[in-house]
Chains A and B, each alone.
Chain A
């Protein structure tokens, strides 16, 4: 099952990570499937970017300086304008209980680093398709 390279065409995705390498891997993978990607290196920059142009989905690391992923999700859930913005956590933390912690904090779900081209897009689409407003536009993928 190959995923069409256009599956994320027209999607504005914000990727937040303080590690430039991790940021670039995620951005390259997303762009490969047609997404238009903006980046931020911490939660504060992410909040500014979201104010400027509202992305369709945010993929954010958890441990970051200035404002971390937990602080970012807190701020987003506090604001009426961003409360429904789907945010997916992306982290190298792989301890038991982290997923539940992320979901109770308000993240839609959780992806574990390291990201590999073979699994990243599949896992991401799996998570996105659960969000009702995206289900329609990703029907193409779900029928594959």
Chain B
């Protein structure tokens, strides 16, 4: 009954609880001085049982009044006394003294039942009710107390059987009470064991959670410390980069500035031989500047300071830009320079056009540098989830052993090619670093004397059509 009542609020709002359920709650509400949820449930159980028994006894009184004087019936005044006594115990059960109320109830019930039996020794049935006491004790009191109670009841019944000669044979009742009590004891013990196991598990789990929390907060502290250290080292690294950049550029400023002033004729004229040497100073200074910028690029990439943007890029426009920028070189060396865009590619893709241009210009510069005759081809290709930029040349090619380290920093194929072709040895390292930063990669295939193919693979991020249209409308050119 109480479970039905207590399950009600889940299905129905509190206000619309049925009257009976509300009455039941009111009648069995435990004292506010009992705080533990387990003990409150016990108190509710005791009060609930007593309410039920009071109700039953009242009906019994009604019956007794109707059949007053009938043989075998319990006299009404006795029942009224019992009713009053039970009511007192019920009142006690509503205070904080649940256990006292239970003991009083169990004791008085046992005494009552024996008295009723002795008043009417022909009937054995009333002694069946002794099991109520056992039930109560099993739920409210300890297993040991209940076992003692069972013993007392059975001994009591046997004594009644032995000592009162007029009594009927109550051995069946004794058997019944013994068997049910035994089962009750086993059940209660079983339930207690289960509960203890559960409590132990909860305690263990709580302990584990506590240990975990401790470990976590420790790990957290370590992480915070590590991240502070990493931040500090990143800060020092960028500070160093900034200082290096400044310190290296300052003398270059003087070199480029003065050689420029001389070459512009701002400090008067001088002969061709001198001019030629000043040009060499100027060119080497320029080369040093390019080298410094490349090293800074690598350092920035490695320090994670190079921020990538992701914006819609128009592929045709980019290809046109590269073609016009590199076309001069093609003309100079009399090479054919063709570009090609796979029609399967969307017109616009998301990406960092500046960084992609840096990659492509680097690859095209290499292609033109190492190709003396034939052609250089730039092709954009679509794949399933990626797109490719392919730079193909008919140049000197790369020896197989060099393919392994061609993307490493400061590696050129050999000293002689360095002398013949110049360059910093950083171009391809920057290309690979940039490609990886853009979640892509770069590969090379080459045959010595026939040419090379560099393939850049980047993730395909098409611009949704609607957005592409809006962009096109915004930039009518």
What is the interface of chain A, defined by CB distance below 8 A to chain B? 19, 21-22, 25-26, 28-29, 32, 63, 91-96, 113-118
User: Interface of chain B, helix or strand or loop or mixed?
Assistant: helix
Would you call A93 and B242 a contact (CB within 8 A)? Answer: yes
Contact flag A116-B256 (CB < 8 Å), given A92-B250, A96-B307: yes
Q: How far is the CA of A91 from the CA of B249 in the complex (A)?
A: 9
Residues of B near A26 (CB, < 8 A) are 257
Residues of B near A91 (CB, < 8 A) are 246
Would you call B249 and A113 a contact (CB within 8 A)? Answer: yes
Q: Chain A nearest CB: distance from B408 CB in Å?
A: 26
Q: Which chain B residues numbered 223 to 259 have a C-beta less than 8 Å away from chain A? A: 238, 241-242, 245-247, 249-258
Residues of B near A94 (CB, < 8 A) are 245, 249, 296
Contact flag A96-B305 (CB < 8 Å), given A113-B250, A117-B266: yes
Q: Could you list some 30 contacts between A and B, CB below 8 A?
A: A19-B250, A19-B253, A21-B253, A22-B250, A22-B257, A25-B254, A25-B258, A26-B257, A28-B257, A28-B261, A32-B261, A63-B246, A92-B245, A92-B246, A93-B242, A93-B246, A95-B241, A95-B242, A95-B245, A113-B249, A113-B250, A114-B255, A114-B257, A115-B253, A115-B260, A117-B261, A117-B263, A117-B266, A118-B260, A118-B264
Q: How far is the CA of A115 from the CA of B250 in the complex (A)?
A: 10
Would you call B253 and A25 a contact (CB within 8 A)? Answer: yes
Give a binary string over B265-308; 1 marks a CB under 8 Å from any A CB, 0 the rest: 01100000000000000000100010000001000000001010
Q: How far is the CA of A29 from the CA of B266 in the complex (A)?
A: 8
Tell which of B258, B261, B307 has the most Cβ of chain A within 10 Å.
Answer: B261
Contact flag A113-B266 (CB < 8 Å), given A93-B246, A94-B245, A95-B245: no
Residue of B nearest to A32 (CB): B266
Residue of B nearest to A93 (CB): B246
Residues of B near A19 (CB, < 8 A) are 250, 253-254
What is the interface of chain B, defined by CB distance below 8 A to chain A? 238, 241-242, 245-247, 249-258, 260-261, 263-264, 266-267, 285, 289, 296, 305, 307
Residue of B nearest to A21 (CB): B254
Residue of A nearest to B289 (CB): A114
Contact flag A28-B266 (CB < 8 Å), given A63-B246, A116-B260: yes
Contact flag A114-B261 (CB < 8 Å), given A92-B246, A94-B245: no
Residues of B near A118 (CB, < 8 A) are 260, 264
Q: Chain A nearest CB: distance from B282 CB in Å?
A: 9
Would you call A114 and B258 a contact (CB within 8 A)? Answer: no
Q: How far is the CA of A63 from the CA of B242 in the complex (A)?
A: 12
Q: How far is the CA of A114 from the CA of B249 in the complex (A)?
A: 6
Residues of A near B266 (CB, < 8 A) are 28-29, 32, 117
Contact flag A22-B245 (CB < 8 Å), given A28-B266, A116-B260: no
Residue of A nearest to B250 (CB): A92
